[in-house]
Structure 1
Amino acid sequence: MDLLDVCLVSTQSDRYSLPGLLAALSRNQVEAFPRLRPHQRPAWHMFLVQLGALALARASADTPPDDEGTWRDLLLRLTDGDATAWALTAPDDRAAFLQPAAPPGLKWTRVETPDALDMLITSKNHDLKQAVARHAAPEDWVFALVSLQTMEGYGGAGNQGIARMNGGSSSRPMLGFAPTQPGGGGPDVSAWWRRDVLRLLALRKAGKDTVHGTPGGPALIWTLPWPEGRKLALHDLDPWFIESCRRIRLIQDGDRLAALRTTSKDARIDAKEAKGVTGDPWAPVSMDGNPRSLTLGDGDFTYARLCELLFEGGWKRPPLADPGQGDAAGVIVAEAFARGNSKTEGFKSRIVPVPGWARRRFGQPDLGALAKDQIAEIEIFDKALRNGLALVAAGGDRDKLNKDHYARARDARDRFDRAADALFFEALWDRSAAQGDEREAARRRFLTQLFHAARDAFDLALPGMPCAAILRPRAEARGRQAFESAVRRGHGHGGGTRFDFLFTTEGRHDDDAA
Structure 2
Amino acid sequence: MNVQFSLLEDALIRFRNSQRQERRVTLPELLVAFNHDGVCDFPALRPHQRHPWHAFLVQLAAIALHAAGRKSPFETADDWRAALLALSPDDREGAAFSLVAPDDRPAFLQAPCEREASRAWKKIIATPDALDMLVTSRNHDLKAERMVHAQAEDWIYALVSLQTQEGFLGAGNYGISRMNGGFASRPGFGVVPAGRWGKRWARDVQLLLRDRKGISKRNGLKETGGVALVWLQPWDGNSSLSFNELDPFYIEVCRRVRLQVRGETLSAIATGSKVVRIAAKERCGMTGDAWTPINLAEGKALSITSRGFDYKLTNELAFRSGAYEASIAREILEEDGKEGLFILAQGIARGKGKTEGYHERRIPIRKTMRGLMLRQQTDKIAEAADRRIEAIGYVRKTLWSAVCALLGNGDQNVSDDTKSKASGFARVFEQGEDRRFFDDLADEIEADDGDAEHDQWLRALVDRAAAVLEQAFVMGPRSAERVYRARGAALSRFHGGVRAEKAHHRIARVLKERDEARKAARHESFEEAVDGSS
Which stretch of the first structure deviates more once superposed, 80-89 or 438-447?
80-89
Query: Which residue is equivalent to 1:172?
Result: 186
**Is 1:4 paired with 2:18?**
no
**TM-score scaled by structure 2?**
0.89
**Is 1:298 paired with 2:306?**
yes
Query: Which residue is equivalent to 1:215?
Result: 223
Query: Which residue is equivalent to 2:127?
Result: 113
Residue type of the alignment partner of 1:431: E
Residue pair 2:363, 2:438 contacting (<8 A) in 1 also? yes
What is the distance in 2 between the residues matched to 1:344 and 1:47? 22
**Is 1:41 paired with 2:41?**
no
**Is 1:432 paired with 2:445?**
yes
Residue pair 1:489, 1:495 contacting (<8 A) in 2 also? no
| SS in structure 2 of the partner of residue 66 of structure 1 | coil
| SS in structure 1 of the partner of residue 219 of structure 2 | coil
What is the distance in 2 between the residues matched to 1:402 and 1:507? 39
Residue pair 1:122, 1:343 contacting (<8 A) in 2 also? no
Query: Which residue is equivalent to 1:271?
Result: 280
Query: Which residue is equivalent to 1:88?
Result: 99
C-alpha distance 168-208 of structure 1, shift in aligned 2 (>3 A): closer
1:280 pairs with one of 268, 283, 289: 289
Query: Which residue is equivalent to 1:140?
Result: 154
Residue pair 1:380, 1:491 contacting (<8 A) in 2 also? no
What is the distance in 2 between the residues matched to 1:134 and 1:230? 35
What is the distance in 2 between the residues matched to 1:244 and 1:507? 65
Query: Which residue is equivalent to 1:393?
Result: 407
What is the distance in 1 between the residues matched to 2:518 and 2:281? 55
1:318 pairs with one of 327, 339, 360: 327
Which stretch of the first structure deviates more once superposed, 400-409 or 131-140?
400-409
Cα deviation for residue 475 of structure 1 reads 2.1
Residue pair 1:391, 1:405 contacting (<8 A) in 2 also? no
Residue type of the alignment partner of 1:370: A
What is the distance in 1 between the residues matched to 2:518 and 2:136? 47
What is the distance in 1 between the residues matched to 2:53 and 2:68? 23
What is the distance in 2 between the residues matched to 1:275 and 1:268? 15
Query: Which residue is equivalent to 1:163?
Result: 177
Q: Which runs of 5 or more structure 1 residues have no equivalent in the other structure? A: 182-187
1:14 pairs with one of 18, 23, 33: 23
Query: Which residue is equivalent to 2:491?
Result: 480
What is the distance in 1 between the residues matched to 2:410 and 2:228? 66
**TM-score scaled by structure 1?**
0.92
What is the distance in 1 between the residues matched to 2:286 and 2:406? 49
**Is 1:253 paired with 2:262?**
yes
What is the distance in 2 between the residues matched to 1:179 and 1:220? 28
Aligned-residue CA RMSD in angstroms?
Answer: 2.3
Query: Which residue is equivalent to 1:358?
Result: 369
Residue by residue over 1:64-113, the C-alpha shift from the partner in whole angstroms, topping out at 9 and shown as x without a partner, is 12210111111112222522111111111111110000234852321111
Query: Which residue is equivalent to 1:375?
Result: 389
Cα deviation for residue 427 of structure 1 reads 1.9
Residue pair 2:172, 2:274 contacting (<8 A) in 1 also? yes
What is the distance in 2 between the residues matched to 1:132 and 1:172? 25
Residue pair 1:383, 1:491 contacting (<8 A) in 2 also? no
Residue type of the alignment partner of 2:355: T
Query: Which residue is equivalent to 1:65?
Result: 74
Q: Which runs of 5 or more structure 2 residues have no equivalent in the other structure? A: 17-21, 526-534
| SS in structure 1 of the partner of residue 174 of structure 2 | coil
C-alpha distance 505-319 of structure 1, shift in aligned 2 (>3 A): farther
Residue pair 1:113, 1:136 contacting (<8 A) in 2 also? yes
What is the distance in 2 between the residues matched to 1:421 and 1:212? 39
Residue pair 2:190, 2:330 contacting (<8 A) in 1 also? yes
Cα deviation for residue 411 of structure 1 reads 2.2
Which stretch of the first structure deviates more once superposed, 307-316 or 343-352?
307-316
Residue pair 1:166, 1:294 contacting (<8 A) in 2 also? yes
What is the distance in 2 between the residues matched to 1:284 and 1:476? 47
1:419 pairs with one of 413, 429, 432: 432
Cα deviation for residue 237 of structure 1 reads 0.5
Cα deviation for residue 391 of structure 1 reads 1.5
**Is 1:237 paired with 2:246?**
yes
2:88 pairs with one of 79, 83, 104: 79
C-alpha distance 126-149 of structure 1, shift in aligned 2 (>3 A): closer
**Is 1:443 paired with 2:454?**
yes
C-alpha distance 162-464 of structure 1, shift in aligned 2 (>3 A): same
What is the distance in 2 between the residues matched to 1:207 and 1:166? 18
Residue pair 2:311, 2:434 contacting (<8 A) in 1 also? yes
Residue type of the alignment partner of 2:122: W
Cα deviation for residue 408 of structure 1 reads 2.2
What is the distance in 2 between the residues matched to 1:14 and 1:377? 50
**Is 1:128 paired with 2:128?**
no
Residue type of the alignment partner of 1:474: R
Query: Which residue is equivalent to 1:462?
Result: 473
| SS in structure 2 of the partner of residue 353 of structure 1 | strand
2:203 pairs with one of 183, 191, 195: 195
What is the distance in 1 between the residues matched to 2:514 and 2:89? 72
What is the distance in 2 between the residues matched to 1:491 and 1:471? 31
Cα deviation for residue 502 of structure 1 reads 6.7
| SS in structure 1 of the partner of residue 108 of structure 2 | coil
